[in-house]
A and B are shown apart, each in its own frame.
Chain A
Amino acid sequence: MPRVGFFTDTSVCIGCKACEVACKEWNAVPTKGALELTGESFDNTSELSADSWRHVAFIEQQVQTPSENGPQEGVRWLMSSDVCKHCTHSACLDVCPTGSLFRTEFGTVVVQQDICNGCGYCVSACPYGVIAQREDDGRVFKCTMCYDRLKVGSEPACAQACPTQSIQFGDLDELRERAQTRVEELHAAGQDKARLYGESPDDGVGGAGAFFLLLDEPEVYGLPPDPIVTTRDLGAMWRRVGAAGAALLAGVAAAYLSDRG
């Protein structure tokens, strides 16, 4: 089974939020409660959470635009549909103490809801701040890349609903090639800041299963610039825990052996 993924080409995103709606509908994801207007452009979803598995970010930037009377102050819109990255080296899966999080035959990372016991460890482990707890029952939820749809040969609901093919689903290797071609096109068209994010198997998470074409720095979109899987340092941590534990026992032994009466 080849590994599948998402290539989200933000240069053609129109901010329609069809992906958010399709995801909610298909996966029966509950609402956050009352609608709260954030005042952050058209973004009232704000972040990925247990109840938002796709999140469309809206960024308005002041830029110089050409006009008949020379360059003028204008506005550039950036829109991007964020989602779980389905990392190659996924910290959430590594630290899950119950085995609730697992890697599927498609190379995606999914929570088994009947096994999750709500410890919240994955929430603190995720370097992207994706996976989150639903407060009423304590368990965690995130994008499954529509595991049930993949099982029957369909594409995820968000990708199917996207009207501009900003969200592309498919074989990960093929998506990476397609993304490379696209970013070269954009560079040729003068979009100097266009770059791929999460496509490289050499990055800190071994490459993301859901990667992006961005038109500015990752942090502008609320993404960490260069995340590293937290378990990379775990071997060193265990060695130091062992050394500290041994030092503790040695210290206690010394206190008894140095007895003067």
Chain B
Amino acid sequence: MSPRRGPEEEFTSYYGRPILKAPTWEPLDIAGYLFAGGLAGASSALAAGAELTGRPALARSTRLTALGAIGVSLAALVHDLGRPARFVNMLRVAKPTSPMSMGSWLLAAYSPLVGLAAGAELVSLPMLRRVAPIAGRGAAVLGAGVATYTAALIGDTAVPTWHDGHRHLPFVFAGSAAASAGGVASALTPLAQSGPARRVAVGAAVAELAATTAMERSGHLSTQTLREGRAHTLMASAKVLTGVGAGVLGALGGRSRVAAAAGGLALAAGSVCLRFGIFEAGRASTLDPRYVIEPQRRSSRSPSAADSAPSETAADAPTGG
């Protein structure tokens, strides 16, 4: 007999098998990419501010952070695809309906600008020093896209937790990216120049926690996956690290370099946990068919209720520092 669920449960399934295919992506590649891309993009925004307001030490640390992080991002993408030539293949077409295609073009434009801006910190060429500010400002604008487009990347899938979170994820990711970039910059920059980085970090951490809470309370069945298993451990760790990191950085970061480093790195670690937690929750939501069947059943029985899931919530408030 095929195992039908009991009459008290809402649905039957085919031998309990998943309806969707689980993501083919490795967590280290893709969740790691979500984090590193966010760190790079938001660091570029900080770097442009530092350059415009005459903070050379802050500009140096944020530019080098952006370079390192985008290097890790590209390595993660190439590893995910299997062969370097396959990244070049991504630029074969430009498709607005494919966030991955748009993201590939964004990276292709953003990475060289980061290279120019950071290059001026590494080699002393007069030419490079002249173009670095302009390249850095371009990287700041594109970096905001690099840090946030990944929300559309995973939102535009049939993975229940990711798709249901598509309204909140851009703000969650923007907050998480800015918190990690502000945190890393606070850790790497002398106190005299790191004031704006600390303010960005603390403000973004608050915004990220608010957006994440709004996502968790959006009323979708799939948000259960954020509260179960390994995803729950990661999401809870992210909250503690982000909260404590922001607290330490905000209270003591202006006086003690050690406190600034500890708080800043805790924020970065919180951002890592958040990305891996959301990745894991999405994967879990593809494995249990109820996350597909129950919401679709409800919406097909009452068409008017199809889009009635609570959506426009606190996360709509602008995030940032």
- Which residues of A does B touch, CB under 8 Å? 38, 40-41, 43, 46-47, 57-62, 91, 94-99, 115, 117-121, 123-133, 138, 217, 219-227, 230-231, 233-234, 236-238, 240-241, 243-256, 258-260
Contact = CB atoms under 8 A, between A and B. Distances in A.
Interface of B: 1-2, 4, 11-15, 17-21, 23-25, 42, 45-46, 49, 52-53, 80-82, 86, 89-90, 92-93, 95-101, 104, 140-141, 144-145, 147-149, 151-152, 155-159, 163, 166-167, 170-171, 173-174, 177-178, 182, 195-197, 199-200, 203-204, 207, 286, 289, 292-293, 296-297, 299-300, 318-321
A217 to B, nearest CB: 7
Contacts of A38: 15
Contacts of B49: 252-253, 255-256
A54 B303 CA distance: 32
A259 B282 CA distance: 40
Contacts of B52: 256
Contact of B203 (A234, A244, A255): A255
Contacts of A252: 42, 45-46, 49, 140, 178, 196, 200, 320-321
Contacts of B46: 252
B63 to A, nearest CB: 14
Top-10 shortest CB links A-B: A251-B320, A222-B14, A120-B24, A244-B170, A245-B144, A251-B321, A247-B318, A97-B101, A226-B300, A117-B86
B268 to A, nearest CB: 16
Contacts of B19: 128-129, 219, 222-224
Given A248-B45, A259-B195, A221 B178 contact: no
Contact of B163 (A40, A58, A230, A249): A230
Contacts of A47: 17
B178 A230 contact: no
Given A59-B2, A224-B293, A245-B145, A119 B318 contact: no
Given A225-B296, A227-B296, A248-B42, A124 B21 contact: yes
A125 B97 CA distance: 12
Contacts of B207: 251
B24 A236 contact: no
9 contacts: A40-B15, A124-B25, A127-B292, A129-B18, A220-B13, A231-B97, A244-B174, A248-B42, A255-B49
B140 A249 contact: yes
Contact of A247 (B1, B11, B174, B182): B174
A133 to B, nearest CB: 5
A250 B21 contact: no
Given A236-B167, A259-B195, A251 B318 contact: yes
Contacts of B96: 238
A244 B21 contact: no
Given A129-B21, A225-B293, A238 B152 contact: yes
Contacts of B163: 230, 233
B173 A244 contact: yes
Nearest to B157: A124
A97 B170 contact: no
A246 B177 CA distance: 13
A40 B149 contact: no
Nearest to B177: A248
Contacts of A259: 53, 195-196
A223 B318 CA distance: 39
Contacts of A59: 2, 14
Nearest to A239: B170
Contacts of A97: 90, 93, 95, 98, 100-101, 104
A238 B297 CA distance: 28
Given A97-B90, A217-B12, A60 B1 contact: yes
Nearest to B100: A97
A127 B97 CA distance: 16
A221 B14 CA distance: 6
Given A115-B92, A230-B156, A240-B166, A248 B14 contact: no
Given A98-B89, A231-B97, A256-B52, A250 B12 contact: no
B320 A237 contact: no
Contacts of B286: 124, 129
Contacts of A222: 13-15, 17, 19, 289
A80 to B, nearest CB: 10
